[in-house]
Amino acid sequence: KFSHQHRLGFGSSNPAGKIPLGLKRKGLRIVVTGGAGFVGSHLVDRLIARGDSVIVVDNFFTGRKENVMHHFGNPNFELIRHDVVEPLLLEVDQIYHLACPASPVHYKFNPTNVVGTLNMLGLAKRVGARFLLTSTSEVYGDPLQHPQKETYWGNVNPIGVRSCYDEGKRTAETLTMDYHRGAGVEVRIARIFNTYGPRMCIDDGRVVSNFVAQALRKEPLTVYGDGKQTRSFQYVSDLVEGLMRLMEGEHVGPFNLGNPGEFTMLELAEVVQETIDPNAKIEFRPNTEDDPHKRKPDISRAKEQLGWEPKVSLRKGLPLMVSDFRQRIFGDHKEGSN
Ligand code: NAD
Ligand code: UDP
Ligand code: UDP
């Protein structure tokens, strides 16, 4: 089944990291867990375009086959329906570990972050693959440092409603570093800040997807709390570029990957109004428990060590996801402005 292993001419004892930089390579065998999801599917597009062999492992919890369907029939692409909470045997060079119930409505009560990460680290150890964890800015909790640097340890409630996600990712980072130090696994850690773009889940409750879908459906934009809390929104292509640079680079991290442009939720609502419907109404709703008051990445480390910084501003990026959302919400039938 994995005959490309022979074509590539290096076995599992030669991890990706051992390929001299600059050497023209034939393509890597890469597994992307959560590759049918929002970020994962964009990453898969780039890896396939680069000439790598990609295996997507996804249980379709929040991901969709439609996100990767355009690769069906490509011999360099495989899709496996599998829950990473169960062990998995594959022979690969790199593991991008994205599988995770990533939004508040989905992530509760799910052991994916801990057990799934452990399994993928076990896989990386067995085959000598390089492992990249997609952690999150949520590890900083409701931060007392602003903007957040990677050296900040965070301010997280261990028993709150968000803890399964925050603490799950913190544990995933711990496991990753333990496998690195204890078993010599080559690891990379990205701390991803709020990201948006085409293929985002429409109804998973995140603020950008909520506002865009609401504006398109002519519903009021639901601002939680007083709307003065801030987030920094990154366009998905910038994130994918950062993830690939991190995987190919020499540094373990953790690295903040995010756009430092900081917006209050009311400002975000205004940008959505400008982009989709200036007449969209705003409706205030009670905020959720333990909602971080502000969040903005300090990306100096990624700039220095990965030569990376985001290129797409919110005003440029938002219209790029609107056409995708319009298509998915209304089908071919075009409505509204823009
Ligand atoms: P997403 O929900 O679109 O993608 C996650 C994918 O993982 C989905 O395809 C889902 O079906 C799959 N999955 C979930 N549990 C699984 C399991 N047990 N086994 C196999 N597959 C499973 O979310 P996303 O926004 O693309 O997030 C990708 C990664 O980036 C996640 O690890 C998330 O924590 C991280 N992240 C994302 C953001 C963001 O703003 N999008 C911010 C911080 C961190
Ligand atoms: N694992 C996996 N695929 C592999 C190797 C390991 O899914 O190719 C899982 C394995 O089932 C275990 C976890 O990864 O639950 C950790 O593996 P490791 O070998 O580090 O730990 P051990 O099995 O020795 O406890
Ligand atoms: N939010 C909002 N309206 C919504 C959804 C979310 O005002 O319809 C707020 C939420 O309270 C939070 C911010 O937007 O302050 C970002 O929420 P999201 O769930 O997108 O990301 P996270 O909280 O994980 O950063």
Given a cut of 60, is residue 123 above it in pLDDT? yes
Integer Cα distance of 174 and 328 in angstroms: 38
CA-to-CA dists, residue 156 to 41, 44, 117, 152, 294, angstroms = 30, 32, 20, 12, 14
Mean pLDDT of all residues in 255-263: 97
Token output for 38: 């929002």
Pocket probe for ligand 2: among 12, 89, 90, 126, the residue whose CB has the most ligand atoms within 8 Å is 126
More confident residue, 203 or 6: 203
pLDDT in tens, 233-242: 999 999 999 9
Least confident of 9-23, 67-81, 319-333: 9-23
**Per-residue 3-state assignment (H helix, E strand, C coil) for 193-245:** CCEECCCCCCCCCCHHHHHHHHHHCCCCEEEECCCCCEEECEEHHHHHHHHHH
ipTM field? 0.97
Q: Which of 38, 206, 285 to mutate to test the pocket of ligand 3 (most atoms within 8 A of CB)?
A: 206
CB atoms within 10 A of CB 25: 17
The torsion angles phi and psi of 282, rounded to 5 degrees, stand at -115, 135
Region 282-294: mean pLDDT is 91
Using DSSP, state whether 171 is helix, strand or coil: helix
Mean pLDDT is lowest, of 160-169, 205-214, 249-258, for: 160-169
**Phi and psi, residue 72, nearest 5°:** -60, 135
Mean pLDDT of the chain: 89
If you measure from the C-alpha of residue 119 to the centroid of ligand 2, how many angstroms do you get, rounded to a whole number? 5
Q: Which of 165, 179, 196, 235 is catalytic?
A: 165
- pLDDT tens figures, 140-194: 999 999 999 999 999 999 988 778 888 999 999 999 999 999 999 999 999 999 9
Known catalytic residue: 179?
Answer: no
Buried b (16+ CB within 10 A) or exposed e, 165-204: bbbbbbebbebbbebbeeeebbbbbbbbbbbbbbbbbeeb
141/139 Cα distance (integer angstroms): 5
Q: What is the mean pLDDT of residues 107-124?
A: 85
Largest CA distance in the chain: 60
How many other CB atoms sit within 10 Å of the CB of residue 110?
A: 17
Of residues 74 and 288, more confidence is placed in: 74
Q: What is residue 288's predicted lDDT score, i.e. its pLDDT?
A: 87
CB-CB contact of 193 with 297 (8 Å): yes
Measured in Å, residue 269 CA sits from the centre of ligand 1 at: 25
Is residue 223 in contact with ligand 3, taking CB distance under 6 Å? yes
Question: By the 8 A CB rule, do 84 and 119 touch?
Answer: yes
Between these two residues, 177 and 20, which has the higher pLDDT value? Answer: 177
Residues 6 or more apart whose CB falls under 8 angstroms from that of 80 comprise 55, 56, 57, 58
Rounded to an integer, what distance in angstroms lies between the CA atom of residue 191 and that of residue 178? 17
Q: Answer yes or no: is pLDDT of 10 > 90.
A: no
Interaxial angle between packed helices 236-248 and 38-50, expressed in degrees from 0 to 180 and rounded to the nearest 10: 60
Half-sphere exposure of 17 (CA within 13 A, CB side): 20
Q: How far apart are CA 49 and CA 45, in angstroms?
A: 6
- The token pair that represents 193 in the structure block: 């800040």
Test site for ligand 3: of 107, 148, 194, 207, most ligand atoms within 8 A of the Cβ? 207
Tell me how far the alpha carbon of residue 123 lies from the centroid of ligand 2, in angstroms: 6
Ligand 3 pocket, residue 222 CB under 6 Å: yes
Query: If you write DSSP's letter for every residue of 55-91 in order, what string do you get?
Result: EEEE--SS--GGGTGGGTT-TTEEEEE--TTS-----
Give percent of the chain with pLDDT exceeding 70. Answer: 88
Confidence of residue 11 (pLDDT cuts 50, 70, 90): very low
- 112 band by pLDDT with thresholds 50, 70 and 90: confident
**Nearest ligand 1 atom to alpha carbon 201:** 3
DSSP designation for 34: T
CB of 82 sitting under 6 A from ligand 2 = no
Q: 285: which 2 tokens?
A: 């709703």
Tokens 């609502």 locate to 269
8 pLDDT more than 90: no
Token pair listed for 144: 């007392």
> Is the CB of residue 288 below 6 angstroms from any atom belonging to ligand 3?
yes
- Amino acid 103: pLDDT: 58
**Cα(322)–Cα(234) distance, rounded to whole angstroms?**
15
In the prediction, which pLDDT does 115 show? 92
Other beta carbons within 10 angstroms of residue 240's beta carbon come to 22
Count Cα neighbours of 42 within 13 Å in the Cβ-side half-sphere.
19
How large is the average pLDDT for residues 87-115?
82
Report the C-alpha gap between 186 and 244 in whole angstroms: 15
- Looking up tokens 């990677």 gives 150
Position 334 pLDDT exceeds 90:
no
Of all protein residues, whose CA lies closest to atom 15 belonging to ligand 2? 119
Average pLDDT estimate for 16-39: 75
